[in-house]
Structure 1
Amino acid sequence: MSGQTSSSNPTIADPYQYLQIIPNPNGTITRDPNRFPNSSPSPDPKNPTPVLSKDTVINQSRKTWVRIFLPRQTIVDSSSTNKLPLIVYFHGGGFINCSASSTIFHDFCSKMTLDLQFVVVSVDYRLAPEHRLPAAYDDAVEVLRWIKTTQEDWLIENVDYTRCFIMGSSAGANIAFHAGLCVSQEVDNLVPLKIKGLILHHPFIGGVQRTGSEMRLVDDPHLPQCVNDLMWNLALPSGVDRDHEYCNPMVDGGSKLWENLRLLGWKVLVTGCDGDPMIDRQMEFVNMLVTRDIKVLSHFSKGGYHVVELKEPSKAKTLLVLMKDFMFN
């Protein structure tokens, strides 16, 4: 997910400047603290906000945590026995930017919570290049195991653990499907947590060979190709290219672990738009799942741009209707 600029803006020629990051000699980057505004949680039930939220530490040494979102009415109506489904959500940012507190993702999770009447656990995972992949995948799996065992009252009192979906936007969608593949090998150990499917919102994937949509949108103002390449260079393990499985899920025919999803009956929703440079890869990804006999639903809209639903309320509304139909049917 990148900032907006015009295709003639010279910053597109300098992806570091475009992302407002500075590379350091020790392999880390310095991020602009004002680039992505943050929002604080609202944990007080007396607060009139329709969605409550609070932060909980997952791993102190890794500095990972989650922000839990809960419809306020759930706490008010304590007599209700109707527990809510769960979405475990991973934010975008090209693996190198943003957090669960970033306003753009805080607001999106709040909207999901309110409109869908789900509990949302939004994950703050470690960022690259300080922590290259698979660090974010490891953090994702750790959170899913934590949900199984935690005594966190908002979850214990309000969540129906048998209805869980793993979701992410952009790089977060990439994390969601890799985490899903990992935990598909240990579903018995996650009980009472029962995963029903994956929701991949504009999944951030790539490869060495340029696709038609990548060439057509090489200077896309929302996600220029040079910026896309830089984020992968910073996120992937040192010494590998974009045909590594973390970036290109179609390489060598795809992971053998997809067979687990078929056997478990998990569903997969993939969304995108033809204004996203990655649409050709996303459609190829869907076709691969179809050939694996995975229950997959795809929705690719006309126009738009990468993760447009995070910025345009009318598009977000359409996405949430699609998600509701996917999750309840």
Structure 2
Amino acid sequence: MASSSDPNAPPPPPPQQQQQPYVVEDCRGALQLLSDGTVVRPATLPFLVGAYQDDGHVEWKDAVYDAGRGLGVRMYRPAAMGKKLPVVVYFHGGGFCIGSCTWPNFHAGCLRLAAELPAVVLSFDYRLAPEHRLPAAHEDAAAALLWLRDELLSDPWLADAADPRRVFVSGESAGGNLAHHLAVQFGTAGLDPVRMAGYILLMPAFTSEKPTRSELETPDTAFLTCDMCDRYCRLALPAGADKDHPLVNPFGPESRSLEAADVGRMVVVAAEGDLLRDKNAEYAERMKAMGKDVELVVFPGEEHAFFALKPMSAATGELVELIRRFIAGAAAAE
């Protein structure tokens, strides 16, 4: 056997090259977390939108509501208005990790809301995880409403079109979760002189450590799977938190009591094929048991986030009509 000083000994192996960063978490290709902590957000968006036309019936423009954090809002209003219209605030979904008001699918859905309700629609961005873990998104959503309170009365583009006494807060998935927390924080009178007339929770992102039947029965082919839901929670929740954290489980062991919360009128929309279906139904039932004015509507045959995924579908048309009736009902209840 050759000694280390043997000139015939093979050369020592080169120093091990540093391993290149690799993907440890992937959210639908719209976000990748690398092993070195780098977050990559590709420019190519993962969601396609069916044929739709921005036909000029709705005017829209972008604004910034938090310059320090670079947070924007896209505002919509019908081009032809005979009277002041209700205001619909919309927060997009994406597990608190992906999405933007500028994404084509969210844009198409908001165009449809503005045209068919009709309404003034404001679609707000918020900080995303994992760069900004919760409660960053909830803080931004509250700041968005405070900004809106001032702008509704001072910005002519909004003031000429919007009725500040009919403001409805909506959101899908993560956005529906935000709508719940805003209802608890602001209720019906928390933005005076603006009047909060109702909350519209579309497949809100509620979960818990104990799995529900709809979670256990969700196939791996579903749009939202248990694995994807867990991934969002790992990336979005505060470090060390589990799925019973109060921001995602409104009835968890550490969650505040909602008995005294004045949330006003509320509609909760669930999808039959959604793993969150049972949590959505439980939320509505428990809120109703506390005496809250909450309606639950389950869309048969639909999956999670069908409004954002299929903004031009017949099901979304039915959803828009449901929202239209809910808005009309607020006026009738006065």
Q: Judge same fold: TM > 0.5, yes or no.
A: yes
1:68 aligned to 2:75?
yes
| Native 8 Å contact 2:30 2:98 kept in 1 | no
**One-letter code aligned to 1:170:** S
| Map of 2:299 onto structure 1 | 301
Q: Match of 2:112, SS?
A: helix
| Native 8 Å contact 1:15 1:226 kept in 2 | no
Paired-residue identity, %: 32
TM-score of the aligned structures, taking structure 1 as reference length? 0.85
C-alpha separation in 1, matches of 2:299 and 2:27: 31
* Residues 37, 230 of structure 1: alpha-carbon distance in 2 compared, 3 angstrom cutoff: closer
| Map of 1:85 onto structure 2 | 86
**Aligned pair partner of 1:153 in 137, 152, 156:** 156
Q: Match of 1:145, SS?
A: helix
Higher Rg of the two aligned structures:
2
Structure 2: give runs of 5+ residues left out of the alignment.
Answer: 1-23, 330-334
Structure 1: give runs of 5+ residues left out of the alignment.
Answer: 1-13, 40-46, 75-79
Q: Match of 2:261, SS?
A: helix
| Native 8 Å contact 1:119 1:159 kept in 2 | yes
| Map of 2:323 onto structure 1 | 323
> Considering only aligned residues, what root-mean-square deviation do their CA atoms show, in Å?
2.2
| Map of 1:209 onto structure 2 | 210
1:177 aligned to 2:180?
yes
**One-letter code aligned to 1:231:** Y
Residue 36 of structure 1 and its aligned partner are, at CA, apart by: 4.1
| Native 8 Å contact 2:88 2:119 kept in 1 | yes
Q: What is the aligned residue count?
A: 298
| Native 8 Å contact 2:245 2:255 kept in 1 | no
Matches within 5 A, 1:119-198: 119-150=120-151, 151-184=154-187, 187-188=189-190, 190-198=191-199
Q: Match of 2:69, SS?
A: coil
* Residues 241, 48 of structure 1: alpha-carbon distance in 2 compared, 3 angstrom cutoff: closer
| Native 8 Å contact 1:36 1:103 kept in 2 | no
* Residues 320, 48 of structure 1: alpha-carbon distance in 2 compared, 3 angstrom cutoff: closer
Residue 256 of structure 1 and its aligned partner are, at CA, apart by: 2.7
C-alpha separation in 1, matches of 2:113 and 2:225: 28
C-alpha separation in 2, matches of 1:54 and 1:317: 24
| Map of 2:314 onto structure 1 | 314
**One-letter code aligned to 1:183:** F
| Map of 1:30 onto structure 2 | 40
Q: Deviations over 1:221-246 (max 9, x none)?
A: 31121111001111111111000011
Whichever structure has more helix as a proportion of its residues is: 1
**One-letter code aligned to 1:286:** A
